[in-house]
Amino acid sequence: MTRNCVDIKNYEGVRVVFTEKQRELKSAFHSELRQESFIKRIEEAIRKPEFVYEDLAKQGRMVYYRYEYSFNGRPTYTKVVVRAQKKYCFVITAYRPNSVKERGKTKLLYGEDKN
């Protein structure tokens, strides 16, 4: 049986799963995934995103954003990339970018992107 580090419902009530195996795989690229406190931020971004875009890279994916803080005038977000499946959604990766690359390039699906 697969262990999950995140297994919650998103802002629409759809189940979202992030497996331990996927977290370990992606933590080689995003060190924040090794921190338990960041896993809590991922859960918050899934439950209460500030805005959600269609993914720029692949169809069928969504990108959840939640504002974290600003440093030298640059905002930092929790970004969670999610793929929709038939019965639930699956987290591909998550990290802390300081920009929203989908802004103005893909469809805003939920919320308000204030910048």
Structural domains in the chain (count): 1
Range of the domain at 73: 4-111
Instruction: Tell me how far apart the 2 most distant CA atoms of the chain are, in Å.
Output: 45
Q: What is the pLDDT of residue 65?
A: 97
What pLDDT is stored for residue 59 in this prediction?
Answer: 84
Q: What is the pLDDT at residue 95? A: 97
Is residue 115 predicted with pLDDT exceeding 80?
no
Share of the chain above pLDDT 90, in %: 86
∠ CA 15-102-45, nearest 5°, is 35
| Overall average pLDDT of the 1-12 stretch | 90
For residue 5, the tally of other CB atoms under 10 A from its CB is: 18
Tokens of 98: 């300081």
**What rounded mean pLDDT belongs to the chain?**
93
Is residue 58 over pLDDT 90? no
User: What's the rounded mean pLDDT across residues 35-60?
Assistant: 94
Provide mean pLDDT across the span 33-48. 96
Q: Record the tokens describing residue 83, joined without a space.
A: 């793929």
